[in-house]
Amino acid sequence: MGTPAYAQPGDPALGTSESASVGRELAAFWWLWLITGVIWLVAAFVVLQFDAASIKTIGIITGCMFAFAGVQQLTLAAFGGPMRWLGMIFGVFFLIAAVVCFINPEETFAGLADTLGFLFLLVGLWWTIDAFLAKAVNPLWWLGLISGILMLVLAFWTSGQFFMEKAYTLLVLAGVWALMKGIGDIVRAFQVRSLR
């Protein structure tokens, strides 16, 4: 019997040699996760250093973070898998958010501060979904789940704050978001590298 047409890499329907081949191909790109993790960490430290940053700078940095997250999601979705369409949808949403940030960073900052709870809700949902999708291949999937749950709690907490408090919260939590994303990508890089 041949391989079913609906089988995805890593499915039991595939032979172990095909799964190993896909794993080796993916492991060849482990350094991409390492580079993106380091970039996220640098972004986190830059964002967290701003104590009196201009609104325009914060809007541009937020746009860069959304653009980078969108490209990263689309790249990961290109590798395939049963839920790759979900990664593509979130990647497109992140890129749309980046374009809006770059067009008018001042208004973007005010809008982000006003809708901060909703944005954190979206990020928390994605991190939680991503953790469950990675459960089969990532022994540290629970870190993503904890991050997603914390972001969801933060979403509801932020919704009840005043604008100025939301503005400072946006700055700090954008840095924390980048920090968590960077650490997660670096851990994932070494996990993928071990597939070799």
pLDDT in tens, 15-46: 456 666 666 777 777 888 889 899 888 878 77
Spatial contact of 184 and 147, defined as CB atoms under 8 Å apart: yes
User: 169 vs 42, 64, 67, 73, 83, CA distance in Å?
Assistant: 19, 18, 21, 25, 32
CA 126/CA 44 separation, integer angstroms: 20
78 pLDDT more than 50: yes
Q: Which of 36, 42, 104, 106 is nearest to 74 (CA)?
A: 36
pTM over 0.75: no
Quick one: pLDDT at residue 14? Answer: 45
Least confident of 13-17, 47-51, 77-81, 163-167: 13-17
Spatial contact of 37 and 184, defined as CB atoms under 8 Å apart: yes
Domain ranges in the chain are: 16-193
Q: Which two tokens stand for residue 148?
A: 């997603």
Taking all residues of the chain, what is their mean pLDDT, rounded to a whole number? 78
CA 157/CA 161 separation, integer angstroms: 8
Q: Which two tokens stand for residue 20?
A: 């190993």
Angle 90-144-137 from CA coordinates, rounded to 5°? 90
